[in-house]
């Protein structure tokens, strides 16, 4: 019986280059899509954190005759002042300080700030079902430049309490016509948008163009 030999056909250099080019093209197409999907997932996680913080706000208000947690408060029996985050965590309304972090932010902590209309100094403002639904309660905001491990120590009230909140003012907060103030209070870190929790506890993502005066102060 005559033996039959088969000669394996190897890829030519041109064919290999074509395959490599196709793979490179596919990667260049898929990577941006994967990056967008990853960022969307981070935005959803951030929104979930804000909703949990909002739930803590409302549970606190239920226990304090409808009043929201104050921005800074003096601990009983001491002269030390603490921030609203510390009070919500220490009194069990929030599980963890990590809820204040944004998955899309690697450098800053305390990336969630409340509307100063609800969070007054020493005494909060009444938070009830009659609050306008379009009013912002919590925002995906500019964080504080602090070590992420700092959550292990109590949050002392900063020298400038406005670092913990944002408010409507011609001088220091966002207002239509003053876009340079915008990023100091609402930080569009999610593909140019930011997460907002409204006073009726629903959360959604917003753009700069969505913000009106009705969102910042009761009319």
Degrees, nearest 5: CA angle 194-214-60: 70
Q: Can you tell me whether residue 24 is helix, strand or coil?
A: helix
- Exposed e or buried b per residue across 142-173, where buried means at least 16 C-beta atoms within 10 angstroms of its C-beta: bbbeeeeeebeeebebeeebebbbbbbeeeeb
What is 28-48 written as a DSSP string?
A: HHHHHHHHHHHHHHHHHHHHH
Distance CA 175, CA 183 (A): 11
Q: Does an H or E element contain 74, and which?
A: strand 72-74
Residue 214, both tokens: 């009705």
Residue 17, both tokens: 């280059």
Over residues 58-99, the pLDDT tens digits come to 999 889 888 888 888 887 777 777 888 888 988 999 988 888
Predicted local distance difference test score (pLDDT) of residue 73: 81
Output 166 or 122, whichever has higher pLDDT: 166
Degrees, nearest 5: CA angle 163-51-74: 40
Is residue 183 pLDDT above 70, yes or no?
A: no
State how far the alpha carbon of 173 is from the alpha carbons of 39, 98, 179, 186, 202, in Å: 27, 26, 10, 10, 23
pTM for the full predicted model: 0.76
Distance CA 189, CA 43 (A): 9
Output 178 or 210, whichever has higher pLDDT: 210
């Amino acid at each position: 019986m005559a033996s039959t030999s088969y000669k394996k056909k190897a890829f030519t250099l041109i064919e290999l280059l074509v395959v490599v080019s196709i793979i490179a093209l596919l990667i260049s197409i898929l990577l941006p899509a994967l990056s967008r999907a990853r960022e969307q997932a981070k935005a959803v996680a951030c929104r979930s954190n804000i909703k949990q913080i909002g739930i803590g706000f409302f549970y606190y208000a239920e226990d304090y005759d409808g009043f929201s947690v104050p921005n800074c408060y003096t601990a009983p029996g001491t002269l030390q002042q603490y921030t609203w985050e510390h009070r919500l965590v220490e009194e069990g309304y929030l599980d963890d300080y990590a809820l204040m972090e944004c998955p899309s932010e690697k450098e800053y902590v305390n990336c969630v700030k409340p509307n100063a209309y609800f969070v007054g100094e020493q005494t909060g403002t009444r938070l009830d079902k009659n609050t306008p639904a379009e009013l912002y309660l919590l925002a995906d905001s500019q964080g504080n430049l602090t070590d992420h491990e700092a959550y292990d120590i109590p949050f002392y009230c900063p020298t400038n309490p406005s670092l913990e909140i944002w408010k409507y003012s011609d001088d220091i907060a966002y207002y239509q016509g003053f876009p340079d103030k915008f990023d100091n209070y609402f930080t569009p870190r999610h593909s140019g948008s930011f997460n907002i929790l409204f006073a009726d506890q629903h959360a959604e993502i917003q753009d700069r163009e969505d913000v009106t005066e009705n969102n910042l102060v009761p009319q």
